């Protein structure tokens, strides 16, 4: 069930049977020459919508812009500063908590968000511990899970892509978006190998340094191996992986 397509009485009725919500969170940033700028938001959104539909779980609007300062050397990338993203997460959670939501499952698509989300969760718990949360806020818990981190997805990635998976503009994430958006995927898919075939690896600093180290935007990957067919398998695996983790999160003491 998507929050944006629900009426308020439907949300009220949902809250009588569940206090959990899935919040897809991603980023808007370059994904190499053959991947969409929206990849990191589109992937968790697809998985969240699948989970929501199959399990009857409420899915919040996707937080599509994340902490991506290091990608700003490439056209199209948009970044929130860490402090801005923390403020967005706090206001989103506190708004939903006011209605009675208590368990917030952030389904993440971008490694660069992880540290900032951990800080945002600590800020939220600090509001409870210091007594500065709104008087009407229920006890809340937040969880972050990356769509690619389950056993099912990891097994497919290892089997199909092995060392060509890489760590940015990965063959898996590009496959998942080609599955979700096949016509656009056919438009951007490269018929030629990229050069070098496997992108370089290295540390991440600021935008200028990133562009110098990783001139076409990829890190360690060969996304020309991506396909909608593998994307379909990854989608099924991630929906299953994330459903299991969401249910376990809700069932926690």
CB of 100 to Ni ion, least distance (A): 33
Kindly indicate which of the ranges 39-47, 157-165, 178-186, 242-250 contains the residues binding Ni ion, using the contact rule CB under 5 A: 39-47
Confirm or reject binding of residue 145 to Ni ion (CB under 5 A). Answer: no
**What's the Cα-to-Cα distance from 205 to each of 117, 191, 210, rounded to whole Å?**
19, 32, 6
Return the number of the residue (71 or 103) whose C-beta is nearest Ni ion.
Answer: 71
Confirm or reject binding of residue 40 to Ni ion (CB under 5 A). Answer: yes
Kindly indicate which of the ranges 9-17, 53-61, 166-174, 198-206 contains the residues binding Ni ion, using the contact rule CB under 5 A: 166-174
- Residues near 168 by Cβ (< 8 Å), separated by ≥ 6? 31, 32, 111, 199, 214, 217, 218, 219, 220, 221
d(CA 137, CA 128): 9
CB of 168 to Ni ion, least distance (A): 6
In what side-by-side order are the strands of the sheet with 20-25? 20-25, 103-108, 141-146
Which residue has 């060509």 as its token pair? 164
CB of 201 to Ni ion, least distance (A): 15
Confirm or reject binding of residue 165 to Ni ion (CB under 5 A). Answer: no
Return the number of the residue (173 or 241) whose C-beta is nearest Ni ion.
Answer: 173
User: What does the binding site for Ni ion look like in residue numbers (CB under 5 A)?
Assistant: 40, 173
């Amino acid at each position: 069930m998507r929050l944006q397509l629900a009426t308020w009485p439907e949300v009220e009725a949902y809250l009588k049977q569940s206090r959990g919500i899935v919040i897809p969170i991603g980023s808007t940033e370059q994904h190499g020459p053959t991947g969409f700028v929206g990849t990191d938001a589109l992937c968790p959104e697809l998985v969240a919508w699948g989970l929501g539909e199959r399990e009857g779980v409420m899915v919040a609007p996707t937080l599509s812009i994340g902490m991506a300062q290091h990608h700003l050397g490439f056209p199209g990338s948009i970044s929130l500063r860490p402090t801005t993203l923390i403020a967005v997460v706090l206001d989103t959670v506190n708004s939903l908590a006011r209605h009675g939501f208590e368990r917030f499952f952030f389904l993440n698509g971008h490694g660069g968000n992880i540290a900032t989300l951990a800080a945002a969760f600590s800020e939220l718990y600090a509001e409870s511990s210091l007594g500065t949360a709104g008087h009407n806020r229920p006890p809340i818990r937040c969880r972050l899970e990356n769509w690619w981190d389950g056993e099912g997805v990891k097994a497919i990635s290892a089997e199909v892509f092995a060392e060509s998976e890489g760590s940015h503009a990965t063959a898996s994430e590009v496959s998942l978006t080609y599955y979700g958006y096949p016509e656009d995927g056919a438009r951007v898919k490269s018929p030629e190998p990229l050069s070098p075939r496997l992108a370089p690896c290295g540390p991440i600093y600021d935008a200028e340094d990133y562009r110098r180290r990783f001139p076409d935007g990829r890190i360690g990957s060969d996304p020309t191996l991506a396909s909608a067919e593998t994307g379909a398998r990854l989608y099924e695996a991630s929906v299953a992986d994330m459903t299991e983790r969401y249910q376990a999160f809700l069932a926690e003491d």
